[in-house]
Amino acid sequence: PLAAIGLRLPFSSSAVVLAQLVVAAPFYVHAAATAFRKVDDDLLIVARTLGASSLRAFFRVAIPAAMPGLIAGAALSWARAVGEFGATLL
């Protein structure tokens, strides 16, 4: 099916990247979800009260507050992907 549209995935660099993404993404998603759950709702409410839109409150308040968890998730995902890299190449 993919060859019909010009994509050759088996034994390619794209296949390795895709495999690493499939293995590592759940670790990042879990860490990010946990980090955003820990953001105090009162901070977002205060930002909205002071005139920020929902989107602006998300980018200016929620993301910076969750950043340590997002960085930890990225590090965990990267470590998992590096650990699986050798097995993926085989």
Residue 81 or 58, more confident? 58
Domain carrying residue 36: 3-89
Residue 58 CB coordination number (10 Å): 16
Look at 7 and 75; give whichever has higher pLDDT: 75
- In the predicted model, what is the mean pLDDT of residues 2-25? 82
**What is the pTM (predicted TM-score) of this model?**
0.79
The per-residue pLDDT for range 37-56, each reduced to its tens digit, is: 999 999 999 999 999 999 99
- CA-to-CA distance for 27 and 22, rounded, in angstroms? 10
DSSP for 32-90, please give it. HHHHHHTS-HHHHHHHHHTT--HHHHIIIIIHHHHHHHHHHHHHHHHHHHHHHHHHHH-
Q: Please tell me the total count of domains within the chain.
A: 1
What average pLDDT does the chain have? 91
